[in-house]
Amino acid sequence: MKHLIGENWHSLETNNIVSLFESDINNGLLPLSIKHREDFFGKNMLKHVKKDSNLKKFFMQFHNTLIYILLGASIVTAFLHEWIDSGVIFSVVIINVIIGYLQEVKAEEAIESLKNMMVTEAVVIRDGVKSVIYSTDLVPGDIVLVESGSKVPADIRLLECNNLKVDESMLTGESVAALKNLDLHDGDVTINDRDNMAYSGTYVTYGRAKGIVVATAGYTELGKIAHLIENTTSMETPLTKKISAFSKLLLYVILALATFTFVVGILRDNSAVDTFMASVALAVGAIPEGLPAALTITLAIGVSRMAKKNAIIRKLPAVETLGSVTTICSDKTGTLTQNKMNVRAIYSSNSTYEVTGNGYEPKGNFLIDNNKVETLDDELKELLRAGYLCNESYLLYKDNQYSINGDPTEGSLIVTALKAGYEEDKLNKNFPRSDILAFESDRQFMATINFDTTNNQNILFLKGSVEKTLDICTHELVDGLHVDLDKDKILQKVEEFASDGLRVLAIGKKLIKGSKIDERLLDNDFVFLGLVAMMDPPRPEAIEAVKESIGAGINVIMITGDHALTAFSIAKMMSIVDENTKIEGSVITGKELFSMSDKELVQKVSHVKVFARVEPEQKLRIVDALQANGKVVAMTGDGVNDAPALKQADIGIAMGMGGTEVAKEAADMILSDDNFSSISHAVREGRTVFNNLIKFITWTLPTNLGEGLVILFAIMLGVTLPILPVQILWINMATAICLGLMLVYEPEEKDIMLKQPRNPKSPILSKDMIVQMLVVGLYMLITSYTMFNYALSLGYSIEYARSVAVNIFVFIELFYLFSCKELHTSIFKTNIFNNKFLLFGVALMTLLQVTFTHSKFMQLMFKSESLHVETWIQIIVISFCVVFVVEGQRLISLFTYKKSSSHS
């Protein structure tokens, strides 16, 4: 039966398809054939994907270079019998692991969500009998029946079709239900244009049909998406990539220095045990114990802040990724737009009206040349009344929200009539319907007969395509008179509306005697009432969010299943493309993508702003092409069709209210209010998170450098260690917790959304930051050694001198902390009081350091000694001078930069 898999069923004659499946259009499959197909194809449901156990997920949190470094430090300190220090470091490891696990513990449930979407009931004909079965029991070749309200149970090729409309937005992104027919199509047409097919998981909004099942389970279009999600590789974030590389480099450097220290000590005939302990001290000093904790806590704080702004983070590192985003690929329907059809313009009696209002709330005005029309013309009111009456949808009001039961296009006509002041009860009472002719694709219009109780006459209303409606109209209503139809003038107006991306309907009427629709009544003599132009409007807040994103140097691209002209018009409204931009060269369609090689796409993708009529696989190709160009890509979306690209993107952003569960589970971040503007808040927060992490790294590494150099120089010179390993641990852990971690609470910088996105290829630290860290590290080395030897020269004990060195390190870090609040601004221009957590940390660190120095318990544990007042004064003065050292280094860097810029 392998020949039944993967055919272009939309391009084959129905008789051939029925024969291929050995089925019967009237009687369906026979029981024996059904059994064979069940054995071969299996159940019509998606297979379970094997997932990692929670225990494995927990232990995978240890798979991190910095965690390895911390575990090594814990083992080494345990080997030194410093059980308290070993326990503290191990506790830091466990905290890191638990936080990471709790953020990541919710496994990928996208496949389960897709599976749940497929479970439904189906009406099937088997062995000549019509019955209802679970959709999971369907097999290829089954004859199924669908009608309004049904969920399509499998991919089916339509055999009979009666006014069938299917909501395929979950697959195609189109907000308007697709009108189905039995016409054949070329093999390479996209899903959007396969009008003779209905796909699993979509919904029938109108009409009924009979079809033959051509694909089930993983072979359906929905199943292919599930396969795409399952086989898509989640990307590492820019920060995790850089931290991983940085951690590995740091590990190699630490091991090399420790080995070098041990070798030098042995060559100098030092004790092997003492030399080994000194090497351990160097390793412990060089390890930034607070970095993994700072990374995790900073990201966790970002998660908390974003949650308050309606952005729910599912994966912790995604917080930082937002700050690195260079490109946002956004779905149109429901993300940039409201997914609600609105009438935007009307042509009636030679006048063009603009209609205001949003969504389905029946509030809005009618404007001519931007001026509000206080009293509507009778011709306009008659047009709106006809649109309301020639209609099969309903306006609902529930939970303080308006919605439409039925076709969104018809719903927009109802809402517009109510904006004009019509009341539904009165219209229904005064114009009762006596007959209806439903919309059919070959006819291209629908019609109703309503009895006018006031004038005691029957009116035949008609609504449909412009071309067909004009063909049967002989007159038009102008200023209350029936005048000859000016077809050219009307078509010119249609072209004007279409160029703005509006969908145009024509409405007409004629007076008749009977109360039943006769085909002969539909040939001619209709009076043209006017044109109604509608669209799925942009979200106003999304327009501002797009502008802010572009202002922040982020490229915004629209990817949609909608028509090119509609998508391009929306892109103009959203400021994604400039007003003067031509559609040629700015839009690529799904059909063009099919014939485009990956290499061609990589070359063109950075210059295209709109991709229209695309399919899920193509969205993946677009994201891949952007990433091949070195872009950090965010993908927003809400439909099933978005899920694979959401997972492949550097960060996937799903809509929380209107989004499918599939999209949510595939995404890294969910917008709980479905508001695109929340993305700009998230980007702002992401940039702040990254800035604060850089501040922490810039602050903490000079200490590790200084400590490592102190040990290295002591071994090379053959002198006593100025600082013991246990004292190094105190410095690293106490300052990291009390001082360094307070930097993660730094508020955002004022110009953060005016800067260009960071280059993903750029290193974590700039050359200026590296120079600054080297300068501060050397300052720590020089001052600590000098004060250590000065104390010894005055006759103080080795414990006293080491206490001086420890305090030099701590208080240099304390004052240097204020220089790190702003990495590119003078401390004298920085508000040092705008972070209350930092001020608290400074006070706490000062108290702890006094305790460390003067408490008997701490002296016993850390081998410290009380210091005299004059020594304290010397420590504070020398430590404070680091501020001027950093200021001098920054001035030199600025001068060097300006000099090089002037030469270039």
Report how far residue 455's alpha carbon sits from residue 295's, in angstroms, rounded to the nearest whole number.
77
First to last CA, the chain: 70
- Number of Cβ within 10 Å of residue 805's Cβ equals 27
Distance of CA 761 to the CA centre of its chain: 22
Give phi and psi for 346, each to the nearest 5.
-135, 140
Where are the strands (E) in 663-812, listed by range? 669-671
- The full 3-state SS of 200-253, as one line of letters, equals CCCEEEEEEEEEEEEECHHHCHHHHHHHHHHCCCCCCCHHHHHHHHHHHHHHHH
Report how far residue 683's alpha carbon sits from residue 319's, in angstroms, rounded to the nearest whole number.
8
Please say whether the beta carbons of 468 and 443 come within 8 A: yes
- Number of Cβ within 10 Å of residue 549's Cβ equals 26
Please say whether the beta carbons of 524 and 474 come within 8 A: yes
Please say whether the beta carbons of 280 and 715 come within 8 A: no
- The H or E element that residue 333 is part of is none
Please say whether the beta carbons of 434 and 515 come within 8 A: yes
Kindly list the catalytic residues: 331
Give phi and psi for 829, each to the nearest 5.
-110, 10
What is the side-by-side strand order in the sheet with 610-612?
311-313, 669-671, 651-655, 633-637, 327-331, 555-559, 610-612, 587-589
Q: Which two tokens stand for residue 849?
A: 């350091």
Q: Scan for tokens 């931007």, then name that residue.
A: 370
654 pairs with which residues across the strands? 637, 670
331 pairs with which residues across the strands? 559
Q: Cα dist. 904→225, 815, 898, 900 in Å?
A: 52, 37, 10, 6
DSSP 125-177: EETTEEEEEEGGG--TT-EEEEETTPBP-SEEEEEEEEEEEEE-HHHH--SSP
Q: Which two tokens stand for residue 103?
A: 């953020």
Report how far residue 865's alpha carbon sits from residue 401's, in angstroms, rounded to the nearest whole number.
71
Q: Scan for tokens 């189906």, then name that residue.
A: 122
Closest by CA to 574, choosing from 601, 611, 537, is 537
Closest by CA to 573, choosing from 359, 802, 336, 804, is 336
Closest by CA to 310, choosing from 752, 684, 669, is 669
> Would you say the C-alpha torsion 493, 499, 502, 505 has a positive or negative sign?
positive
Please say whether the beta carbons of 427 and 385 come within 8 A: yes
